[in-house]
Structure 1
């Protein structure tokens, strides 16, 4: 049961990071998006667009690492090596998500909500997967 809950949290964390990728790399210059990230004007959004674009891909790569890890863990060919590789990849990607949320906290208290949104599901998935 713990493995199922860990998998659900990991999959939801991956989906969240894909959504963040879309906001940062695809929709960044839309006012409702850049304002969500604390950017005040269209001009600032255009200036920060390359940074957001790059950052969005980091989020996408973490999501892909999580998904590939889950596929190896649960859907790959039977074998301890494949299971171990899937578990390790999933833990690594989730751990990176948690670390990124902690780094976000170092930029100021105003980012607490964003860090909690970004880091809670990966943290739960990581801890549960350790015990699954």
Structure 2
């Protein structure tokens, strides 16, 4: 896998670790749940179990990328590609939620999409 693809994949993984921290570790802070469009502490409390679970999905995708990058070779590259495709797919799903989700979808999906482009044209 080309170095540029590895760099963008690693950036995607780092972002998803940060998202994990927001959703699963520090969700109870108003500055965090407001970033996700949650209107009140009561709503944040209701959404907390879903956010906690979703955070771990993001962490597992990040771990997949890191493991793939460490393994290298065909198997490692396949893991990185799979995780990046999963993130890009999730970004597309997020974008279907309406205009307010377009920016977060781009933030979530651009680095893994660039990793895939650089990997494909190596």
- Band of TM-score, shorter chain: over 0.9
Compute the TM-score of the two structures, normalised by the length of structure 1: 0.90
Q: Deviations over 1:108-131 (max 9, x none)?
A: 111011001000000000111123
1:92 to 74, 78, 82: 82
RMSD: 1.0
Other-structure match for 1:3: 2
Higher Rg:
1
Q: Which runs of 5+ in 2 are unaligned?
A: none
**1:56 equivalent in alignment to 2:46:** no
Aligned residues: 122
Compute the TM-score of the two structures, normalised by the length of structure 2: 0.97
Other-structure match for 2:36: 37
Residue correspondence of structure 1 range 53-132 to structure 2 within 5 A: 53-73=52-72, 83-132=73-122
Instruction: Detail structure 1 runs of 4+ shifted over 3 Å in the superposition.
Output: none
